[in-house]
Amino acid sequence: MTSPLTIKVCSEPFCAALTELSSLLVESAKNVTPSLVEAIQGGAKLCVLDCDHGAAPVTGELLYVLKPSQGLLMLVAAARAGNLDAGVIEQAFGHGASPSVGVATPMVDESAAVAPQTAAADSALAGDIPR
């Protein structure tokens, strides 16, 4: 008889980034709100879903971690520095982050494949955001 598999989800890293960005936007919300809303409505990738499948057979536990995307980390870093504007939002999410009519674009990248350069860049941008 096999043991049941427990699936857990941790969203703390993603929620911490959103909470920090929200508190930093109090100062500049009027200047960036339209651009940020457009990016989100256009399908900007705000988070990545990471999972270590390898340990599950041994531990009986599968842990998914919702992490801030590199674009979201760029926004947090710019907001910390007081440099958050529409240009930074476009740079973080690209030109494709404009609203698309009738197209539902997922905001979670389930590939969970993170290149070493991306992980290093995320760490540098994340500052004290828990990962």
Q: What's the rounded Cα separation, in Å, for the pair 49 and 65? A: 6
Nearest alpha-carbon partner for 109 in 98, 99, 118, 121: 118
How many CB atoms neighbour CB 118 within 10 A? Answer: 13
Q: How many CA atoms lie within 13 A of 72 on its CB side?
A: 24
Going residue by residue through the chain, which has 131 residues, state the pLDDT in tens, using 9 for 90 and above.
577 889 999 999 999 999 999 898 886 666 777 888 888 888 899 999 999 788 788 888 888 999 999 999 999 999 999 888 888 999 998 865 543 333 333 444 444 433 333 343 444 444 444 44
Cα–Cα nearest to 53, from 44, 45, 62: 62
**DSSP for residue 7:** E
**What is the pLDDT, as a whole number, of residue 69?**
95
**pLDDT at res. 70:** 95
Residue 1 CA to residue 13 CA, distance in Å, equals 36
CB atoms within 10 A of CB 42: 17
The strand pairing partners of 7, in sequence order, are: 62
Tokens of 40: 């989100």
Indicate whether this model's pTM tops 0.85: no
Q: How far is CA 57 from the centre of its chain?
A: 28
CA angle in degrees (0–180, nearest 5) for 47-89-29: 100
pLDDT computed for residue 99 by the predictor: 38
